[in-house]
Amino acid sequence: MDRRNRPIAVFDSGVGGISVLKALVRRLSAERFVYLGDTAHAPYGPRPTAEIRRLTLENLRALDESELFKAAVIACNTATSAAIEELRRTYPDRPVVGIEPALKPAADRHPGRTVLVLATETTLREAKYAALAERMGSRCTVVSLPCPELVEFVERGETDSPALEAVLRVRLAPWLARPVGAVVLGCTHFPFASGALRRVLPPGTELIDGSDGTARQTARLLAEADLLRPESAPGEVVFRSTSPDPAAVAQMERLFRGESETE
């Protein structure tokens, strides 16, 4: 098969990466995407880094055996921080794109202000984030806030509910009465909770996520490697989950279409 017609793998611990998949499909509508969520092991955030790395590598290997992908997008900040170097060593012949909290665009747009970074414990404790936060710390006040419960709410399709809002109010309590420039959604699950976040945060707080930047970078690398399909080709999106429960894939399709359980 022409290498250009092979699919692009999009991987996350569960449903979060669908927020990135949407940006990818908007920008690369002629491409074939195969989305894999490791629902059987989500959430990744509380797991040790070595285990997240192992799960990520094993899932990508299994996906490559069945799909022979031309490029991989690790649509998970947590898996990126644990495994991106090893993945790039494993697949040196293809683009492997990761995602990191969009702190740089937040610092560009809100110099001198406070920027909250919401992410998983793993993302926030890894060296990759520490280096980014230190670089951006000279341009804005960076506050890193683990928000693990949010992943579980989104995994079960509860993207907007009074219980979710209550958790956010507790997590964000110290920041609700102070001026904050932006909130970086440093976990790909979090854009699905944007409605609840907007209601809880002071009006005017900008929410910033890395999905468009990741899609842009993917498009650039595919073009450089001459791996883009012709623009007239029919695009395709296929969902897979490591959970045998068909509800897992149904939930992915619902989030991709923009619906949630509570709507």
Q: Tell me the per-residue interface mask from 154 to 193 with ligand DGL, x by CB under 6 A, - otherwise.
A: ---------------------------------xxx----
Closest separation between CB of residue 45 and ligand DGL, Å?
A: 3
Closest separation between CB of residue 235 and ligand DGL, Å?
A: 23
- CA 156, chain centre distance (Å): 17
User: Would you call the peptide bond into 202 cis, given omega within 30 degrees of 0 as the criterion?
Assistant: no
Closest separation between CB of residue 206 and ligand DGL, Å?
A: 19
Which is catalytic among the residues 28, 36, 76, 196? 76
H or E element, residue 239: strand 236-241
- Contact yes or no for 50/65 (Cβ under 8 A): no
Among the residue ranges 64-72, 76-84, 158-166, 236-244, the one whose residues contact ligand DGL (CB under 6 A): 76-84
Which of 76, 147, 172, 200 binds ligand DGL (CB under 6 A)? It is 76
Residue 187 among the catalytic residues:
yes
- Contact yes or no for 211/189 (Cβ under 8 A): no
Residue written as tokens 């629902």? 39
Question: Does 211 sit near ligand DGL (CB under 6 A)?
Answer: no
Question: Does 209 sit near ligand DGL (CB under 6 A)?
Answer: no
**Angle of CA points 250, 254, 255, to nearest 5°:** 120
Question: Does 150 sit near ligand DGL (CB under 6 A)?
Answer: no
Residue 147 among the catalytic residues:
no
- Contact yes or no for 52/79 (Cβ under 8 A): yes
Buried b (16+ CB within 10 A) or exposed e, 207-226: bbbbbbbbbebbbebbeeee
Question: Does 12 sit near ligand DGL (CB under 6 A)?
Answer: yes
Would you tell me which residues interact with ligand DGL (CB under 6 A)?
12-14, 16, 42-45, 76-78, 120, 123, 151, 187-189
Active-site residues, by number, are: 76, 187
